[in-house]
Amino acid sequence: MLKIGFCGAKGRMSNEIITLLKNYENYEVYALWEDYNFVENEYIIYKDKKIFFNSNIDVLKGSDIVIDFSHFSKQKTIQKFLFENKIKFICGTTNLDKSDFDNLKKLGDEVTVFYSPNMSFGINAMIYLLEGYLKLFKNYDLELVEEHHVHKKDAPSGTLKKILNKIKELYPEKKEIYNRLDLNREKDL
Phi, psi of 28 (to 5 degrees): -130, 125
Position 83 confidence tier, pLDDT thresholds 50, 70, 90: very high
Distance CA 132, CA 59 (A): 45
> Quick one: which of 155, 180, 159 has its CA closest to 167?
159
- Looking at residue 163, its pLDDT comes to 87
Task: Give the dihedral of Cα atoms 168, 170, 118, 105; nearest 10 deg.
Answer: -90
| Mean pLDDT score, 64-72 | 95
| Mean pLDDT score, 155-179 | 82
Helices (H) and strands (E) counted in the chain, each on its own, are 5, 7
| Mean pLDDT score, 30-45 | 86
Q: Could you tell me which residue, 148 or 44, shows the higher pLDDT?
A: 44
Question: Which positions ≥6 away from 77 have C-beta within 8 Å?
Answer: 57
Q: Is the pLDDT of residue 189 over 50?
A: no
| Mean pLDDT score, 50-65 | 96
Q: Is the pLDDT of residue 89 over 70?
A: yes
Task: Give the dihedral of Cα atoms 15, 64, 38, 97; nearest 10 deg.
Answer: -90
DSSP state of 164: H
Query: How buried is 26 (Cβ within 10 angstroms: 0-12 exposed, 13-18 middle, 19+ buried)?
Result: exposed
Distance CA 142, CA 167 (A): 9
Q: Is the pLDDT of residue 97 over 70?
A: yes
> C-alpha distances in angstroms, 168 versus 60, 70, 84, 141, 142?
37, 27, 35, 13, 11
- pLDDT, averaged across the chain: 88
State percent of the chain over pLDDT 90: 49
Q: Is the pLDDT of residue 138 over 80?
A: no
Query: How buried is 87 (Cβ within 10 angstroms: 0-12 exposed, 13-18 middle, 19+ buried)?
Result: buried
Q: Is the pLDDT of residue 187 over 60?
A: no
State percent of the chain over pLDDT 70: 93
- Looking at residue 87, its pLDDT comes to 98
| Mean pLDDT score, 150-171 | 81
> Quick one: which of 75, 85, 74 has its CA closest to 38?
74
Residues marked active site are found at: 148, 152
- Looking at residue 180, its pLDDT comes to 66
| Mean pLDDT score, 131-145 | 82
